[in-house]
Amino acid sequence: MLGYVTVGTRDLPRAVKFYDAIAKEMDTPRLMEFETFIAWQKPGGPAGLAVTLPYDKNPASVGNGMMVALQAKDAAQVKRLYDLALSMGGTDEGPPGDRGGGFYAAYFRDLDGNKLNAFCMVPA
């Protein structure tokens, strides 16, 4: 159903450095690049992620209740993504762990405050 998700930023070069590192860990290349917008996605693959300066030129803001979930290949990658995000200035919203029913996840915010999680399903 989803093609891609876009999050806003106040500082595109800073945000791109953060998301380039996340995308590299997930082996996902840049798909599109424009002056105000960059997207990462595997051609023909699952939904992608983009970061943009807002079109209306107003400051980017965080959606209350909005979160982007990144599907990791395993629990080790969940931890690597979480650690990577925090090492680049992201903030903790919940360390890696079992959330019940085989759902293993870690929660963090990017440099603009957008909430993300890295997750995978593990045997319950």
What is the pLDDT tens value at each position of the chain, 124 positions in all? 788 999 999 999 999 999 999 999 999 999 999 999 999 999 988 999 999 999 999 999 998 889 999 999 999 999 999 999 999 999 999 999 999 999 999 999 999 999 999 999 998 7
What's residue 50's pLDDT? 97
97 is a domain residue: yes
60 is a domain residue: no
Per the structure, how many domains does the chain have? 1
Q: What is the 3-state secondary structure (H, E, C) of the chain?
A: CCCEEEEECCCHHHHHHHHHHHHHHCCCCEEEECCCEEEECCCCCCCEEEEECCCCCCCCCCCCCCCEEEECCCHHHHHHHHHHHHHCCCEEEEEEEECCCCEEEEEEECCCCCEEEEEEECCC
94 is a domain residue: yes
61 is a domain residue: no
- Return the CATH number at 98: 3.10.180.10
What's residue 124's pLDDT? 72
Residue 72: which domain range? Answer: 4-52+67-121
What's residue 2's pLDDT? 86
What's residue 106's pLDDT? 98
